[in-house]
Chains A and B, each alone.
Chain A
Amino acid sequence: MSVGMIVLAIASVLVLFGVGQRVLDKMHLTDRAALILMGIIFFGGLLPDIVIGQVSINIGGALAPVAVCIYLLIRADTKKEVLRALLGSVMTAAAVFFLGRWMPEEPEKIVIDPNYVYGIAGGVIAYLLGRSRRGAFVCGVLGVLLADIAVAVMNRMNGVHQMLYLGSAGAMDVVVLSGFLAVLLAELVGEVTERISRHGSEEKAPAVYSSVKGEKQK
């Protein structure tokens, strides 16, 4: 491999690492904890999978993101928030499953890469349900995992016996990418709508707005 290609591969990993750290930083975690977690996702992804029968589970690509989801659900302020995140995950799983079935499958026909769409679905669903970036992460991660499990069940019912890999691409797995992408999307949509609503209230009641100007929505 040429020098340029090695640099490109390293740059790709660094960008993912940086983006991941910034995303996890927003998940009730400190900077340092987010960094350590990214380390676990990256290096855990390189460790051998845990194999239980026909299921192969990766530490960095599945266990670490799921652990973050559990932590977020435990730290949720209300039961309603937990329910929203779980409902959002099931809805994202349905979306991932059907998008996988419905989107063009032949390489020449693909309009947008399906692996990018799942995170977008998770982000949109989580935002519609609860305007929560933490909910978006849970939806992105659990949605893809549940969809993979649903496909495995469907395969088994059709007499197709193949291994179920959960997060086996490690840090590069769709589980991780969808979680990050969902958060980034929810964050961006949230900022845009917040700005629009702020702008609207400034026009309607400038005196009131000026007193809260600069405050950031939680």
Chain B
Amino acid sequence: MKKLIFLCVLFCLALQPALAEEALEGKTYTIVDSQGKAITHLCGAPDVGDEYIAGDNGHYRITSVDHTTLQARAESLGAYVLPDVSWLNQNAQPVTAQRRAVAMYCTHSDESYTPTDGKSSDEQRGGIYDVAEEFKAALEEQGITVYYSDETHHPHDAGAYRRSRATAARLVEEGVDAVMDIHRDGIEDPASYEGTVDGEEMTKVRLLVGRSNQNAEANKAFAAQIKAVADEMYPGLIKDIYIGKGTYNQDLLPQAVLLEFGTYTNDKEDVLSSTGHMAEVMNKTLYGGVSGAAPVQKEEKENTGAWTGIIWLVVAVAAGVAIYAFVSTGSGKGAMQQMKNTFRELGGSVTGKKKK
């Protein structure tokens, strides 16, 4: 017992320098392809297996990360085929009866824009809330009901996702069609997000989805749908899609996405300029295809991601039960018997039958 307490104290002390280092860390990693050509930059180290869909739809997977040179190598998976959005050019019928609702919140409540907010992080209420509120107003202009939470989730650490989970879950309970977590990036170079969209200077938006939950494929399909619509309506608005290892509370809804509106060195006015275009894109993505073959195609794509998620879920549960049964009995036959017992007991408790 004494040893354990000693180890715990040692662990806490060992973390102190790590915390200090982490707070100061703002390392930008460059992702390069097999020829060494830079594809994009990331705030912090990516992880092997992460996927990346570039603005030109080049699809990559991270194969190695070098922490000395701050470079990550990625293999090309070819061009990512975005969903067909030809229905955008058809004459759509206006939506009348359908209830249209989305939700929005900010996990990292301190995130701000240095040129306009004066600092990159505000521990009371970051400039990111101004972006979220402008985006909310733009969505409402499109006739969408927005369930918006201005709750803060300080401090800015990995625990923020634990705290924002309560916010996200409460919003999802409203029966929304999509939930969006609004962020800004942490890379230093403002040029990486700057661009001209529809003849107007504004910052781009990065979409981020996680791959560690049952909704991963559905979330990815949703992000791809957003990019497909944006590429058609406002080319250049969506910078890229990053598929990371986290969950970002996207396990709460199949249509969940994290949006990075510019980076902290961008002028917030340029960021705000992109919210109107983004709202139009979200409206079309979620509700735009209302006539002809469009809804069918859209639903088919959504279903593909969802069914993949269901298969993933069933396989994960079955594998978990099988591993546990095998470990506890030590034989295939015993494992089968234990699995049968488990399901019989579970079924019995649902139907009210007593355990024999």
Contact = CB atoms under 8 A, between A and B. Distances in A.
Contacts of B50: 108
B309 A8 contact: yes
Given A107-B244, A109-B45, A11 B310 contact: yes
A115 B43 contact: no
A162 B22 CA distance: 24
B220 to A, nearest CB: 13
Interface in B280-321: 299, 302-307, 309-310, 313-314, 317
B168 A106 contact: no
Interface in A18-42: 18-19, 21-22, 25, 31-32, 34-35
Contacts of A162: 109, 151-154
A2 B299 contact: yes
A137 interface: no
A81 interface: no
A67 interface: no
A2 B298 CA distance: 9
A101 interface: yes
Output the residue of B43, B123, B154, B313 with the most chain A CB within 10 A: B154
B170 A102 contact: no
B19 A102 contact: yes
Contacts of A115: 161-162, 165, 247, 249
A94 B108 contact: no
B43 to A, nearest CB: 5
B151 A31 contact: no
B255 A101 contact: no
Nearest to B209: A107
B313 A187 contact: no
B258 A169 contact: no
A104 interface: yes
Interface in B327-351: 327-328, 330, 342, 345-346, 348-350
Interface stretch (A69-77, A188-196, A203-211): A188-196
B137 interface: no
Interface string B242-267: 10111111011111001000000000
Contacts of B215: 8, 12
Contacts of A7: 306, 310
Contact of B313 (A15, A95, A191): A15
A3 interface: yes
Contacts of A97: 159
B327 A110 contact: no
Contact of B346 (A18, A61, A128): A18
Given A9-B253, A108-B244, A112-B245, A4 B313 contact: no
| Interface size, B (range) | 35 or more
A44 interface: no
A123 interface: no
B195 interface: no
B233 interface: no
A108 B306 contact: no
A144 interface: yes
A148 B163 contact: yes
A107 B317 contact: no
A52 interface: no
B46 A108 contact: yes
A98 B19 CA distance: 9
Contacts of B245: 110-113
B68 interface: no
A92 B304 CA distance: 40
B15 A187 contact: no
B169 A170 contact: yes
Given A1-B255, A4-B305, A114-B162, A101 B15 contact: yes
A169 B255 CA distance: 18
Contacts of A129: 1, 4
A46 interface: yes
Contacts of A4: 218, 302-307, 310
A136 interface: no
Interface of B: 1, 4, 8, 11-12, 15, 18-19, 22, 42-47, 50, 108-109, 123-124, 151-163, 165-170, 173, 177, 183, 186, 208, 210, 212-215, 218, 242, 244-249, 251-255, 258, 299, 302-307, 309-310, 313-314, 317, 323-324, 327-328, 330, 342, 345-346, 348-350, 352, 355
15 contacts: A1-B255, A4-B218, A35-B350, A101-B19, A107-B208, A109-B44, A112-B212, A113-B210, A113-B247, A118-B162, A158-B155, A162-B151, A163-B151, A170-B169, A172-B251
Q: Nearest 3 A-B pairs (CB), nearest first? A: A100-B159, A4-B306, A109-B44
Given A25-B345, A61-B166, A114-B246, 14 more contacts: A1-B177, A4-B302, A8-B310, A12-B214, A12-B251, A35-B349, A99-B159, A107-B258, A110-B244, A111-B245, A113-B212, A113-B246, A115-B249, A151-B155
